[in-house]
Structure 1
Amino acid sequence: MSRPRLIVLASTYPGRPGDGTPEFVSDLARREAEHFDTIALVPAVPGGATHESEGRLQVRRFRYFPARWERLAHGAIIENLRQDRAMWVQVPCLVLAEALATLRTVRRHRPDVVHAHWIVPQGLVATVCAPRTPRLVTTLGGDLYALDSPLLRRLKGWVVRRAGHVTVMNEEMRRLVIDLGAAPEKVSVMPMGADLSGVVPRVERPDGPVRLLFVGRLVEKKGLHVLLEALRLVRADVRLTVVGDGPLRAQSERAAEGLPVTFAGQLGRTALRQAYAEADIVVVPSVPAASGDQDGLPVVLLEAMGTGCAVVASALAGIDEAVRDDVDGVLTAPGDPAALARALDDLAADPGRRAELGRSARERATEFSADAVGRRYVDLLRSLTS
């Protein structure tokens, strides 16, 4: 019996396993491929093969610019554009190349359903290139929060009104999509899941400095600058490890001078899991960026909770739906270094409370596991094909 055919469109996808690129789209695509013959159509990135196969999942990367400069989709597109305005010339090239690749793939494989990650550009491309195919559009935050000009709002409204269904990361985003014109019954809160299958047991250490961990791309919305300011106010004996890379790395290293901070760069999934296991507190100090962009629900937060680590995070929409303050972790006002420092001091002085928060966080994280979330997405895609 033939299986339904699915095309996944995305602009953030690892070039190779463990290259440090967020893997939430690839994790979900693997679970969708257990039930659909799946093609993930994504932009070329340094180190990524043009074609890959993993069981029923095929990954196809399209070229959109001369290889020497083809870096727009390497990391976060919005932040890349903010840091290097010359990259704007690549934007129409990427959109056109994605549209042509989608048209070819739709004609050859005749999908039963398309899953487009981000309203712009993938949702727009899917709407234009596969108008007769049922479409699920998932927005993860950046396109919804940051791309807010009148023209882009009209384009986003056009896309979400024509989608079979739209999924978002939190209730605030659901309200924003409905404001764009989507029917309320066609908008669901379904965040990306965290792969908890290979969680490394926590490493308890009775003495020594309290180990803090920050994981994320070094861009404004991740809030590392707030954490570094908070560290100058912390009285406890702590050590911070920063995992990740990005356009603000050099600036962040300068801001960390004189502080007990180690910049570890990007880590693959195995090494990152070990880093979670060795941390006492994972800090997620997300803030709204000047562009309006902000996190919807960081997968890093869910991975840390799944490890059973105490977390301190910003009370932003999405984060506050996953973390119940003083139950699964501690929430502080975004952009408030003094409040963050107080929370870190309190937890650093109370290992018993850290352990209690970690236990609750581990239980809570199962609701957001990649397996649980994958099942929900598969059910939704099946409903669209029928």
Structure 2
Amino acid sequence: MALPRALVVATTYPARPGDGTPAFVRDLCLELSSSFEVTVLVPAVRGAPSREQDGPLAVVRHRYFPRRWETVADGAILENVRASRGAVIQVPFLWASQWFAVRREFRRVRPSVVHAHWLIPAGVSARALSRRVPLVVTTLGGDLYALNFAVARWLKRRVAAAASVVTVMNSDMAARAASLGARDVRVMPMGARFSVVTPAPASGPVRLLAVGRLVEKKGFDVLLRALEAVPHAVLTIVGDGPSRGELEAAAHSLGARVTFAGQLGREELDEVYRHADIAVFPSRPAASGDQDGLPVAMLEAMGSGLAVIASDLAGLNEAVVSGESGLLVPPGDAGVLAAAISELAADPSQRRALGEAAAIRARGYSVEAVGAGYRALLHEVIEAAKPSPPSV
């Protein structure tokens, strides 16, 4: 019996597995592929073919700008636009290209369900298709927390009202999605892949790890200020992004205590986990209103058994129980963050206990567990869309 077909529309997808680009869309699609024929439609990125078979996934990348300047979809679109005025020019072309590509692939694939990642732009591009097949829209935070000017809110309302289900990363986002008119909202975070990591023997100063895109909402500037008050700690920052230059300048006075490792693939990141004592996620709301929903990188660190310090923000505080599976600190407060780092730095047994509890708590956020939930959801909306049998 042929599997039902799913068309997944997104704006973030690795050019190559393990290239350091966030892989949560790919990970989820791989989990869906056990029950669906999955076609993934994403913007073109440098170094990736227009069409390819990524294991069981058919990946289609639509071109939207002259190849030389086609960069706005490399990483996070919102942050790329904020970092470069030139990137703004590409946005309407990307949106138009995605709109036409969604309809082309819809006719070619003839899916049973469409799954759009983000209300804007993918949800807008797919909204009209909801009259023909069920539409599931997943928002990870950036479009829901930010993009609050009048036109954007109008577009978000139209997408939310058209979707069969809107999935979000935390309960605060669920309330926001409901306020936009979504009929059915469910908290279903993206899943994380966990590796069994054996920590390297500890020696010397306490080793801090921060993982994420180098943008304002990640709060890495707050972490650098906190590090000034913790002289017995060193820090590795994994990731890249438009704020890298500013962060490197801010870290200059800390010298060799701070290492910028750039984007790393999974195997390289596992090695970094082995040599870390504490993972720090100092997220905070950006000036635009954007903030993290629930960082997959934090879940990966928890699943690897690291003690975690995170900001007390919606989503993060649903995964971390302060004092049990990590420590929570007020967002943007470098002093309290420094005190939390110092507390764990001085107590290896507490770090070990928090890391063990974090690994247990993270199991419910594994890509396998989350994938099973999304498979069930897509089957549910397909069944609900079938016409009722005639009464006798």
TM-score computed with the length of structure 1 as normaliser: 0.97
The secondary structure found in structure 2 opposite 1:52 is strand
Matches of 1:123 and 1:201 in 2, distance apart? 41
User: Which stretch has the larger CA shift, 58-67 or 85-94?
Assistant: 85-94
The secondary structure found in structure 1 opposite 2:252 is coil
Which residue of 229, 233, 237 maps to 1:233?
Answer: 229
Deviation per residue, 1:226-279 (Å, 9 max, x gap): 0000011124x1110111111111111110012110111111111011111210
Contact 2:130 2:163 in 1 (8 A): no
| 2:176 equivalent to 1:176 | yes
**Structure 1 343/304 Cα, relative in aligned 2: closer, same or farther at 3 Å?**
same
Q: CA deviation at 1:193?
A: 0.6
Which residue of 282, 302, 306 maps to 1:305?
Answer: 302
Matches of 1:52 and 1:199 in 2, distance apart? 31
2:210 maps to amino acid: F
Contact 1:230 1:340 in 2 (8 A): yes
The runs of 4+ residues in structure 1 deviating greater than 2 Å are 128-131, 198-204
| 2:209 equivalent to 1:213 | yes
Q: Aligned residue for 2:387?
A: none
Matches of 1:209 and 1:179 in 2, distance apart? 48
Q: CA deviation at 1:204?
A: 3.4
Q: Aligned residue for 1:18?
A: 18
Q: Aligned residue for 2:390?
A: none
Q: Aligned residue for 1:364?
A: 361
Which residue of 228, 245, 267 maps to 2:264?
Answer: 267
| 2:72 equivalent to 1:72 | yes
TM-score computed with the length of structure 2 as normaliser: 0.96
Matches of 2:336 and 2:290 in 1, distance apart? 22
Which residue of 314, 317, 339 maps to 2:314?
Answer: 317
1:71 maps to amino acid: T
Matches of 1:140 and 1:258 in 2, distance apart? 35
Contact 1:287 1:335 in 2 (8 A): yes
Q: Structure 2 unaligned segments of length 5 or more: list them.
A: 384-392
Q: CA deviation at 1:192?
A: 0.3
Matches of 1:255 and 1:325 in 2, distance apart? 29
Q: CA deviation at 1:150?
A: 1.4
Contact 1:102 1:129 in 2 (8 A): no
Which residue of 239, 252, 257 maps to 2:252?
Answer: 257
Deviation per residue, 1:86-138 (Å, 9 max, x gap): 21111111111111111111111110000100001101111124531101000
| 2:138 equivalent to 1:121 | no
The secondary structure found in structure 1 opposite 2:52 is strand
Which residue of 367, 373, 379 maps to 1:382?
Answer: 379
Contact 1:36 1:56 in 2 (8 A): no
Aligned residues: percent identity?
54
Q: 1:1-386 residue pairs with structure 2 within 5 A? A: 1-129=1-129, 131-183=131-183, 186-196=184-194, 198-205=195-202, 207-235=203-231, 237-259=232-254, 260-386=257-383
- Please, what is the CA RMSD of the aligned residues? 1.0
The secondary structure found in structure 2 opposite 1:331 is strand
1:182 maps to amino acid: A
Matches of 1:199 and 1:189 in 2, distance apart? 27
Deviation per residue, 1:329-360 (Å, 9 max, x gap): 00000000000000000000000000000000
Matches of 2:349 and 2:69 in 1, distance apart? 51
Matches of 1:96 and 1:234 in 2, distance apart? 49
Q: CA deviation at 1:55?
A: 3.8
1:192 maps to amino acid: M
The secondary structure found in structure 2 opposite 1:92 is helix
Matches of 2:7 and 2:14 in 1, distance apart? 17
Deviation per residue, 1:34-66 (Å, 9 max, x gap): 110000000001111211213431111110000
The secondary structure found in structure 2 opposite 1:335 is coil
The secondary structure found in structure 2 opposite 1:254 is helix
Q: Structure 1 unaligned segments of length 5 or more: list them.
A: none
The secondary structure found in structure 1 opposite 2:53 is strand
User: Which stretch has the larger CA shift, 14-23 or 338-347?
Assistant: 14-23
Contact 1:160 1:180 in 2 (8 A): yes
Matches of 2:129 and 2:91 in 1, distance apart? 18
Matches of 1:108 and 1:252 in 2, distance apart? 46
The secondary structure found in structure 2 opposite 1:203 is coil
The secondary structure found in structure 1 opposite 2:259 is strand
1:229 maps to amino acid: R
